[in-house]
Amino acid sequence: MNTTKIVVTLSGHNDDEIKEEIQKAKENIDAFDIVEIRGDVFDALNREDHGKKVRYIIDYFKPLNKEIIYTYRTAKEGGSGSKTTVEYEALLNAVCQTMDIDYIDIEVQSGDKITASVCKTARANNVKCLMSHHDFKRTPPSGEILSIINKMHTLGGDLYKVAYFPHEKKDVDKVTEVVKSAKQKYGDRIIGISMGELGKDTRTAEGEAASALTYGFVSRDAAPGQIHVTQLREIFTR
């Protein structure tokens, strides 16, 4: 049986885009399990307006029994977020305390202290910690990827997400093998993505290489190689 949950990433910047994405998501409501809200797209807004946009999305999907991930993806990990590490920590802690979310995405490269601080706040508010690490330039050696996953475990993560850019097929195979061995150690907590067209198969992997979550879109792709959620649902229900 496949245990991969499908996440729809919402990355609309303004009210029109957000409404359009919500409408498309509504039309494909059975194609996904979780909604990822990308907070970094609201970077130009003040904290209050940022909060309003996030709440608007949460209030729409929560009554429909969809889980919510809040992600603030920084520029160095492929997003549009430009907050300092201090602002990043404050934002994530505030989101855990004030928003009805199920998961908070924490970039482990932000540092052990920040990761531990956000994790502590998340725990106190019944929010799960989705530790993440992205490298848009390369795929590091297997040992390096595994040590990052081990660190995510040590820091108290609930899910461990690693995403890398492949230059050749063997980079994709490396991510697949790492997922398999990390799952033997930590169970169904691993999310392993090889980006772009080359790594597309990692988003639909099943069996031993299946990730805990796979990310798709309804309106516009938020990452290279993302697949439409209806296509993902089709693949996973065959």
Catalytically active residues, by annotation: 134, 161
What is the Cα–Cα distance from 76 to 161, expressed in whole angstroms?
A: 16
Rounded to 5°, the CA angle 170-179-190 comes to 140
Neighbours of 84 (CB within 10 A): 9
Strand order in the sheet with 190-194: 190-194, 159-164, 128-135, 103-107, 67-71, 34-38, 5-10, 213-217, 227-228
- What is the chain's length? 238
**Tokens of residue 206, six digits:** 């099943």
Neighbours of 188 (CB within 10 A): 14
Rounded to 5°, the CA angle 188-191-193 comes to 150
What is the Cα–Cα distance from 35 to 52, expressed in whole angstroms?
A: 17
What is the Cα–Cα distance from 191 to 133, expressed in whole angstroms?
A: 10
